[in-house]
Structure 1
Amino acid sequence: MSLLIKFESKSARVKGISFHPTRPWVLTSLHSGVIQLWDYRMCVLLDKFDEHDGPVRGICFHHDQPIFVSGGDDYKIKVWNYKQKRCIFTLLGHLDYIRTTFFHNKYPWIISASDDQTVRIWNWQSRNSIAILTGHNHYVMCAQFHPTEDLVASASLDQTVRIWDISGLRKKQMPGGGVPSRPTGAQQAELFGQPDAVVKHVLEGHDRGVNWVAFHHTNPILVSGSDDRQVKIWRYNETKAWELDSCRGHYNNVSSVIFHPNADLILSNSEDKSIRVWDMQKRTSLHVFRHENERFWVLAAHPSLNMFAAGHDNGMVVFKIQRERPAYCVSDNMVYYVKGQQIRKLDLTTNKDVALCKLRHPQPFMQPYFSLSFNPAEGTFLLTSRTHNKDLCAFELYKVPTNSDGSTEAACVKSTGINALWVARNRFAVLDKAQNVSLRDLTNKELRKLENINTAVDDIFYSGTGMLLLRNDDGLQLFDVQQKIVTASVKVSKVRYVIWSKSMEYAALLSKHTLTLVNRKLEILCTQQESTRVKSGAWDDDSVFLYTTSNHIKYAISSGDFGIVRTLDLPLYILAIRGNVLYCLNREATPVEVPIDNSDYKFKLALINKRIDEVVNMVRSANLVGQSIIGYLEKKGYPEIALHFVKDEKTRFGLAIECGNLQIALEAAKKLDEPAVWEALGETALLQGNHQIVEMSYQRTKNFEKLSFLYFVTGNTDKLVKMMKIAQARNDAHGQYQTALYVGDIEERVKVLRNCGQTSLAYLAAATHGYLSEAEELKSELESRQQPVPPIDPQARLLVPPPPVARLDENWPLLASARGAFDAQLLGLGGQSATNRAPGVKPTAPAFAAMEDDV
């Protein structure tokens, strides 16, 4: 067995570590003087705090306030607020390096140990020192409060561990156990004269300096680690303290030692580059975890989770020492799982949870069962236990009688094997340590070995009756046990779990950080990469796969759509999905019902399957709101549906333009009232032939040139005359002349040319169009200026536009936006067809286009 490493950081030497009590955070204090805040679940550095001069050795999170305390070689204790990202105050008093700093679980106190041979207790609310514990005659390497009692333990290089009684200090500082009293002058004077903190026991037994000491969380026991390479266990009572035993095995200085919070285990680490796990009862070493090239300096346990962290020369490692995933399997509406020393059954229809039988060979704490396989026809179970040593892997075959209860021991046959699972009602497959797969009967008798397997198999998975999935270095192979052939294969690396849908049509392949959905032929449908570990999953009735990661419940649709259902504080293992309820197991193997909102993936599924009625109902209920669903609809080509979710006017306008919904676009444009918006609306309206909206757009943007041409092509001469007057008022000669051309007003054109100093052109215009009096007047003007009079072309044609046959008041159908069946239903139009499209023109809104085509 090796460490189950969850996170590793690279940094300078780590001298102090503290877990946050509720969030997935860990603080590290470095020999470089920097304090780092890490998220060990997401594996990212959240923040840095750098105010100490020199190494920082002590670090500790407060159990409920957003603060932490640090102590360094600059003789300073600093209290930080991690929300404000700053040091809020500094405590001064120590005269040498500060080794450890810890908060009290109940009172506003900090305890610090220093090379000045003292232990100090501080009140972080009043920001002063309330006690100095003197007596050690060498560096004090560690000092800690008892979790519940008025005791302090300290470890020193003077080779002793001391237990101090601080009940006098508690009574003086916290009368009645409430708010600390403000000390008066008299009390302040008595602070060090009265026995506020007295030595209760001096523990002698180490041959060299003691580096660490820790209280047991419930029992009157201490553990200490020393430079004499020993871990010692001590017991104490009111009158005396004595050494229980020593744990020998480290071959260099023991740096740190702690009790496991949930088991009779002790963890220690050392400068010999190892972490050891000890049996507290037998005082023997259970496991040794070695780390190449790095000495260990500190060890910390999470206050409530099975999580530990160790600091070494080049960073930190966050780890677990045992697997926490419960062994379970699901058969129809029944869930079978292992809890403690029992196999239990949970009925998903009635929520009845009962014990089936008692296990004959329960697994030790650090090696829980790996998997459970159930045979409903015979009422038999296969329980597999695994270690990294293949010789120690084993499985147990349990036959549970029908009248069995939780106290009955079922008949059990135990045998060696890496994995075992059922392939038929009276046959199960076993993978042995030699990587051979064999078939066995109900008595565990080997019938035959599977042949024609041309690869080394390192794991096997259930794949239906008579079928097995074989895992090798390249991926998975689907093997037919009867025909002895490989029927399909897929390249997916390091698959840990395979979960089949109820119809066996789809399978989910779970790797460490990857989810792959395949069909029965092992053809890959979609793949999703996760930043955290993929834990478990189950299929719902619509073939949507719901799965859990370390911190989320997510969904995957075989079409390639993924999304988040909800966040998780702690990992859960999904058993089954019933409606909008997930049935799960937590790490304590306790069934948990988790309500979920499945509207997000139900909506996407309805869109994919073009179930219009369902989509309409979901839109009307308005349960789906958010940028993610809007972005999804736009990306998938359903802007007209996204339109019904959008509240932001700019987004609403963009979607309306995209799907050609001019009315909604016009409403949004009026509210936004921006030139760019009106320009885009005018362009879209012109494509659809809605000249009324085009007119409004040109008016709002004051695009007089385009507006004049619009009036010209629609035959609106009255407004053209107005445009000509507007151009004159604006001194826009070019616009005035062009509008006069559209209207056919010769006098106005001559007038514009004359006013612009184009007398020759004015003369030609007047003479050509038969305005003789104006022509003579202009000719005289030219001659008086001694300018040449241009000759009149006898072949010239008059530039007078023909009058419009009929004024166009209605819009013309150049391009109408297609209205899908979705729009028709939402607007209560039934199945009426939309405005006809021009031949050969593609609609702007493609949603459900196949369903509305006339052909």
Structure 2
Amino acid sequence: MRNPTEGEAEEEGLENRGEEIECRGDVITSGESEGKPLRLEIKRKLAQRSERVKSVDLHPTEPWILASLYSGTVGIYNYQTQTMVKSFEVTELPVRSAKFIARKQWVVAGADDMFIRVHNYNTMDKVKVFEAHTDYIRCVAVHPTLPYVLSSSDDMLIKLWDWEKGWACTQIFEGHSHYVMQVTFNPKDTNTFASASLDRTIKIWNLGSPDPNFTLDAHLKGVNCVDYFTGGDKPYLITGSDDHTAKVWDYQTKSCVQTLEGHTHNVSAVCFHPELPIIITGSEDGTVRIWHATTYRLENTLNYGLERVWAVGYMKGSRRVVIGYDEGTIMVKLGREVPVASMDNSGKIIWAKHNEIQTVNIKSVGADYEVSDGERLPLAVKELGTCDLYPQNLKHNPNGRFVVVCGDGDYIIYTALAWRNRSFGSALEFVWSTEGEYAVRESTSKIKIFSKNFLEKKSIRPTFSAEHIYGGTLLAMCSNDFICFYDWVECRLIRRIDVNVKNLYWADSGDLVTIASDTSFYILKYNRNVVSAHLDSGRSVDEQGVEDAFELLYEINERVRTGIWVGDCFIYNNSSWRLNYCVGGEVTTMFHLYRPMYLLGYLASQSRVYLVDKEFNVIGYTLLLSLIEYKTLVMRGDLERANEILPSIPKEHHNSVAHFLESRGMVEDALEVATDPDYRFELAINLGKLEITKEIATAAHSESKWKQLGELALSTGMLETAEECLKQANDLSGLLLLYSSLGDAEGIADLASLAKEHGKNNVAFICLFMLGKLEDCLQLLVDSDRIPEAALVARSYLPSKVSEIVGVWRKDLNKINQKAAESLADPEEYTNLFDDWQVALAVESKVAEARGNYPPAAEYAQQADRSTASLVETFRNMELEEEEEAEEPMENGDLDYEDAEPNGEVQEELDETQVEGGFIKSQEEAPVFLKVIGLVKFPCLVAVLTPYVMEMESTQDRRFSCKLFLSCFVLYAMPERGGLVELSVFLHLR
């Protein structure tokens, strides 16, 4: 055992606050080497403070960073949510190396306690713990395909572990004479690996052989780190040393290719970036340096103020780089992930992978090969050549003969077929005009315009800082918050528009342009004739340009990632990676992309739009040109030509056309075009087309459609159609409304039977009640096990049935509560508990004679008047009879309407009788009011009070009667009976 090396002495642990670093860090552009920088965009994606980070790793599929700490903890951070998602308390000693084994859902870690530990990062369980070395474990490396893990240690040994054999040590590699700081597998030949040691050497090994293949020795001090170049063209590896340098080696010739100098302290981490032509070195001087992998010039220096750098991590297929410091973890994203590719009008695609230029042809896919939308095309890739600079942009000219490559502050124009250099020069940006001319931006204050023959025509020095330029019909130069358009010939200002521009897309016609900003895009119309007339007139142009040069047509609140114009249709993918197109301000989603993809172009001959992902997989989606043309003509108001094109659009796209027409307010046209029955039904309903809706509903056999149609027929007064539709829909409630409105007693009777069959007891009850079939109502309640309700109905309408129902109720209730069943009173046994029981029976017998006779609904007015008159006369006769009977004592010695004294004597006088807060002023009026109180127990007779109240002379009596009327209504009138009271009175008492 030995003490830690210089710079690794244990320090006081820093609190892991898990917060984002406030200091953004400085990006220092190199002034130390000649040449133009790559100008890679560098964005910080994660800043997480913690104790000293000794190693970092990226998960291949999850947005996770693995960081092992000097404190003995291993943490997993989610760089999308900026949070720690997992934490393993591995040991109390430093964990110097930890790696993901994604195919097993494991994390393997080596620590200073000489143990290797394996955890499942999903369950947090320990999979394996074993002692691997006799000194500090410096590094673990996972084989990309085989079940192997390499470990290196301060015991100067390298060991190979096989997890399929229970983590047995299958091989030991000896040869170093000092601490072995790092081991790494060769990505091009995974049977070999390299090791770096403080004995100042790098050794190359083969699995299966205990001796090294060869040794590289050129550093002046110990070697801390080593990494292989992942590209296919160079057999290189890079090392970092305590001599403050990094060296690039050719392991085939065993020679040092380049020494990278510039760090002021030990170089602790190095890597070749797998996607970009850069080398990254990290040092204990606190900086991360980015070098050009071809020219070896220093491109950038990153300093985030987190003290010493200990680790750098990367992942193939990603431009993210994670850096481990003394005080936390930083993740940055280098450059854009948009693939450098371009497609011409014939379907030939050229793209750049690093400095290699390749080409594919979409038309090489045979016509017999059926390609589905979203399926990757099986394209044969051909090597076209190489590029002398690192391509950051690549674009065909309008006719497809030439291709420009821009990067490293230069541009080169090549021929598209032979890849021959035709012209070159300095440029930060390069754009083509629609006529084949081009412009370059050499700086923020100098733009040059060249002819088709590659000759310089004009040099412009704008009065503002030109941050970007865009080509097309006009030459556009933009600053941070505005854009200026110029003509290509004389560079005259056409128009200034105050908007923050992220990209610009011109239609081929030159009449439409899309300006894309951060959160939305604008479609403008370029009034070419207005501009020409203004310029030809010789009138001066102010700093805003020609006022009517552009006309804003539409503003869409979506972010455009990439876009192209096809005719008057703008195709784009948005921030949610949906592939949309916009015609006439209407946005239609074509497809939901399941991964980031970027538009290449549109082939009219195939009616397909093509996209490419960052792995250069080409995918196509169908977008009919005839569909675009049709929508364009509709927007222009040329319906005659649009209808000529319609037959060429396949039937499966007619619904899309119909939706477009509906959005334009052309609903009848949409109905003619639509093919989907459900959609056509909705359109027909909106238009009130009953015949069409009836045909669709008949074919669909859909109750919901029949119900909608029935409601439409009702609203338009087509009652016979409404009846048919409601029957087809089994809409019994709707039929009840219809029949009751028509006064159709036969229909109500049929509906009652139908409702019983369908178990719609509420509807059946109302039908029977309206027909006056009170016995059937009572039986329905009993059959549906609603016995308490049956008892109430019997008490109100059929008092002669009360005893029978009470018996049924007692029997049913006795199953649950015998005492409660016994407490039910039968009016035949306890007449004294039921007020005016005899009167109720008498009224029932009189009303029963009239039930079942239904006069025509047309005679309602006459019958209603007669019924009212007969009802009042009936009550007057009842009053006279009651007064006559009052003179003769009843069997018990009491009078029907007088209070009996306990000794059987009758109270002779009622000077003032109080009833429910109202007063009867004389004895003569008492019998009538007492009779009313008895009768109001029948809700169907509540209406009796209305004419009676109107005949009263006393205001006090009227007030009492109104209170009584309201009390009875609240107590007895159920909501569904509210509309039936008048009808019931009419049927019973006519």
TM interval, short-chain normalised: 0.5 to 0.7
- 1:574 CA displacement: 0.6
Q: Deviations over 1:383-417 (max 9, x none)?
A: 47455xxxxx455678x7xxx9737654x4x5545
Change (3 A) 1:159 1:492: same
- 2:224 match: secondary structure: strand
| Counterpart in the other structure of 2:609 | 582
CA offset digits 1:219-257 (Å, max 9, x no partner): 7654321233221345667xx977666432111222211
CA contact (8 A) 1:216 1:222 kept: yes
Among candidates 469, 477, 484, match of residue 477 of structure 1: 484
Q: Look up the match of 1:812.
A: none
Structure having the higher helix fraction is 2
Distance 1:162 1:383, change over 3 A: closer
Correspondences of 1:618-697 after superposition (within 5 Å): 621=652, 687=715, 690-691=722-723
Compute the displacement of 1:523 (Å). 1.9
Q: Which residue is 1:717 aligned to?
A: 745
Q: 2:261 aligns with which of 248, 253, 258?
A: 248
Query: Equivalent residues in 2 for 1:333-372 (5 A)?
Result: 333=346, 364-366=388-390, 368=391, 370=393, 372=395
Whether contact under 8 Å (2:445, 2:464) holds in the other structure is: no
| Of 38, 45, 48, the match for 1:11 | 48
Structure whose CA Rg is larger: 2
Alignment partner of 1:228 out of 240, 243, 260: 243
1:53 aligns with 2:90: yes
Change (3 A) 1:151 1:248: same
Aligned equivalent of 2:143: 104
What does residue range 331-730 of structure 1 map to in structure 2 within 5 Å? 333=346, 364-366=388-390, 368=391, 370=393, 372=395, 374=397, 383=404, 385=406, 393-394=409-410, 406=418, 410=422, 412=423, 414-419=424-429, 421=431, 429=439, 431-433=441-443, 435-437=445-447, 455-464=464-473, 467-480=474-487, 486-495=493-502, 497-510=503-516, 516-520=522-526, 521=550, 523=552, 525-530=554-559, 534=561, 536-541=562-567, 543-547=569-573, 553-563=579-589, 565=591, 567=593, 571-578=597-604, 579-583=606-610, 594-598=619-623, 621=652, 687=715, 690-691=722-723, 710-718=738-746, 720=748
Q: In structure 1, how many angstroms separate the alpha carbons of the residues matched to 2:67 and 2:151? A: 15
Q: Any conservation in 2 of the 1:603–1:618 contact (CA below 8 Å)?
A: no
Residue 274 (str. 1) matches residue 300 (str. 2): no
Superposition deviation, residue 121 in structure 1: 2.0
TM-score normalised by L of structure 2: 0.57
Asked whether the equivalents of residues 249 and 285 of structure 1 are also in contact (C-alpha less than 8 Å), the reply is: no
Q: Distance in 2 between matches of 1:733 and 1:781?
A: 43
Tell me if structure 2 keeps the 8 A contact 1:682–1:694. yes
**Counterpart among 112, 116, 128 of residue 90 in structure 1:** 128
Q: CA RMSD in A?
A: 6.4
Change (3 A) 1:492 1:263: closer
Which of 313, 317, 324 is equivalent to 2:331?
A: 317
- The one of 892, 896, 899 equivalent to 1:786 is 896
The 10-residue stretch of structure 1 (600-609 or 436-445) with the greater mean CA deviation from structure 2 = 600-609
Distance 2:271 2:750 in 1: 92
Shift of residue 474 of structure 1? 1.6
Cα deviations by residue, 1:635-680 (Å, 9 ceiling, x for unpaired): 9999999998699xxx9999999999689899999889xxxx9999
- In 2, Cα distance between equivalents of 1:713 and 1:484: 79
How does the TM-score come out when normalised to structure 1?
0.64
Deviation at 1:71, TM superposition (A): 1.0
Find the counterpart in structure 1 of residue 224 from structure 2: 211
Structure 1 residue 525: deviation in Å? 2.0
1:461-504 Cα distance to aligned partner (Å, 9 max, x none): 2242xx32221222323334568654444444242x42222222
For residues 342 and 214 of structure 1, what CA distance do their matches in structure 2 show?
A: 22
Matched to 1:594, the amino acid is I
CA–CA distance in structure 2, aligned partners of residues 656 and 622 of structure 1:
20
- Any stretches of 5+ residues in structure 2 without a counterpart? 1-36, 367-378, 527-549, 778-792, 803-833, 848-869, 898-925, 932-943, 951-980
Equivalent residue letter for 1:121: L
**Bigger fraction of residues in strand:** 1
The amino acid across from 2:480 in the alignment is D
For 2:459 and 2:476, locate their aligned partners in 1 and report how far apart those are by CA, in whole Å: 16
Equivalent in the alignment of 1:839: none
Q: Closer, same or farther in 2 for the Cα pair 1:506/1:304, shift >3 Å? A: same
Which amino acid counterpart does residue 227 of structure 1 have in structure 2? Answer: D
Following the alignment from structure 1 to structure 2, what is the Cα–Cα distance between the partners of residues 483 and 582?
36
Tell me the equivalent position of 1:293: 305
Percent identity of equivalent pairs: 18
Q: 1:9 to 1:538 in 2, by over 3 A?
A: same
How far did 1:198 drift? 4.0
CA positional deviation for 1:602: 5.4
Which runs of structure 2 are paired with 1:72-221 in the superposition (5 Å)? 73=111, 77=116, 79=118, 87=125, 89-94=127-132, 98-114=137-153, 118-130=157-169, 131-133=171-173, 140-147=180-187, 148=189, 150-157=191-198, 159-168=200-209, 197-198=210-211, 206-216=219-229
